[in-house]
A and B are shown apart, each in its own frame.
Chain A
Amino acid sequence: MNYAIQTHQLTRDFGSLRAVDRLTLEVPAGQIFGLLGPNGAGKTTTIRLLLGLLPPTSGQVRVLGMDPLQQGEAVRSRCGALLEHSGLYERLSAEDNLDLYARIWRMDAASRKKRIRELLEGLGLWERRKETVAEWSRGMKQKLAIARVLLHRPPLIFLDEPTAGLDVPTAAALREDLLRMTAQEGTTIFLTTHNLSEAEKLCAQVAVIRDGQLLAVGSPVELRTRAGQPRLQVFGRGLNERALTVLQSQPGVGGVKFLNDHLEIALKEPAETAALVKLLVEQGAEIEEVRKSTASLEEAFLSLLEENHVH
């Protein structure tokens, strides 16, 4: 397997605070990899370590097969980064912002011009290229920052909470742009987020961290099935205490509880739904609707955090 990023026991302290704690990760090349965790989990610090912006306290990092501290320039020339802040020069126009970075990436005048036009057109910003960035909405700025990240076609891209602070439709549009514009390039994307549905929509693999520690890695589907049991939601009338007790005694049932307007049954295994429904009916319940579902990634995530909290 070809890995874009490998870390081994990566650790970074700030004084007595351990921001990243013995993190061992492998990010396959060409994949969108999500680092998922609540605020303060150590996501930004991890990106800084991977880009060689900060030295680790201990542990190893390889990015594109190189050491980001020893070979900083080589690593960073092949990476694009949209960090916590968009990093745009607000006093300059959109076009000048891109032009500056194209110069930094040592593109010649002709390819600068061509690439900037291609990106701005692709994002629907070409007509507004002369406007000063300060006047733009956050959504447009993030789009422009994405264009800046893609300028030199880097094989590896870091995105630190790219949709934070955007409303839902703007965030969705940005994700779409991102996917569209990196689709053919085979780019590896290392993305941090505290937004689960974002991770689920974008990422082939997700690593969940908290307090700098890795809690789990896997595809969103794997994480969900690992953490969440299948469930049954039953809507209707006459769902009383007696029904609840009867259900609880069934072998395949993990737990039963009332939630607002419905009964929530946690299943130990994908048990026979029909038998359980029949039981309820026999107890005098009038059932209107039965829904079967597995846990959302959100629940999986929360249960991971819970589990870890207890220990």
Chain B
Amino acid sequence: MFTDILTIIYKEWKEMFFARSTARSGLLGVAVIVALLGIFMPFQNGRDWLTTPLLILIWSWLPVFLTLGMVTDSIAGERERHTLETLLASRLPEQAILFGKIGAAVFYAWGIMLVSLLLGAVTVNLAFPGSPAFYDPLVFAAVLVFSLLASVLIASIGVLVSLHSKTARQAYQKMSVVFLVVWFIPMLVAQFLPEEIKAGLSARLMTLDLNAVLTLGMLILLAADTVLVLVCLKRFQRPNLILL
């Protein structure tokens, strides 16, 4: 089972990175992202890069965005390119295919983020000499865990959406709609909340213990991941993948 998962990850990455004539991503695309977030931005921001609150924002959307593209391409896209059924006609258990595809997308996104984060720290230290600096360990750890959990969330939603999409593009569009809703509805709601409620909320927020908030957030994400992965396991069956 584990070997089979690795085989799928190997295949997804090979297709993603090393295939010539891949319009979408490939190594070049990855290099651009890493250079931007690992060298250019830290260089622009100086030593602040390691402490800016902006950090969390950047690192929260990056893996989400990368996972999304990859997971829809690897399921809906594979159906669209007519390679999925042949894969399903092989001995591979469905779970191995599922975990392989989720794993390929999640670790791809997470890996790029990790490399950019570390490279950013190196850049800052080299470009702006002084006492060695690194991210706040708690923030760093939180970013790593959160982005991993968020990627799994997106990947499993991506799997479920792909199961109902004829093409990768269709799946990607559906996912984008999901995101708009998840991201913007809370913002819109916040906009129209009466002032006194807002003030009350932010006062409450100020008094909250950061560690407690992070832990709670993690537990919620973890629960959501577990539920979604279980739903994926139930739905990711040969007949569902072949018929639409």
Total count of chain A residues near the partner, CB < 8 A: 32
A91 and B90 form a contact (CB under 8 A) = no
B243 and A76 form a contact (CB under 8 A) = no
A81 and B86 form a contact (CB under 8 A) = yes
Cβ-based interface call for B81 (8 A): yes
B88 and A53 form a contact (CB under 8 A) = yes
Cβ-based interface call for B51 (8 A): no
B239 and A55 form a contact (CB under 8 A) = yes
B242 and A54 form a contact (CB under 8 A) = yes
How far, in whole Å, are A72 and B91 apart by their CA atoms in the complex? 8
Cβ-based interface call for B89 (8 A): yes
Cβ-based interface call for A128 (8 A): no
Task: Name the B residues within 8 Å of A89 (CB-CB).
Answer: 11, 15, 81, 83
Binary contact readout A96-122 vs B (1 if CB under 8 angstroms, 0 otherwise): 100011011110000000000000000
B243's nearest neighbour on chain A, judged by CB, is A54
Cβ-based interface call for B3 (8 A): yes
Interface residues of B, Cβ cutoff 8 Å to A: 3-4, 7, 10-11, 14-15, 19-22, 81-83, 85-93, 238-239, 242-243
Interface residues of A, Cβ cutoff 8 Å to B: 48, 51-55, 72-73, 76-77, 79, 81, 83-92, 96, 100-101, 103-106, 132, 134, 158
Known: A72-B238, A85-B83, A90-B81. 12 other contacts (CB 8 A): A54-B238, A54-B243, A84-B85, A87-B82, A87-B86, A91-B15, A91-B19, A101-B90, A104-B4, A104-B87, A105-B90, A132-B21
29 sampled A-B residue pairs with Cβ under 8 A: A53-B85, A53-B89, A53-B239, A53-B242, A54-B238, A54-B243, A76-B91, A83-B86, A83-B89, A85-B83, A85-B86, A87-B85, A87-B86, A87-B87, A87-B89, A89-B83, A91-B19, A91-B20, A92-B15, A92-B19, A96-B14, A100-B7, A100-B14, A103-B7, A104-B7, A104-B87, A104-B90, A132-B21, A158-B89
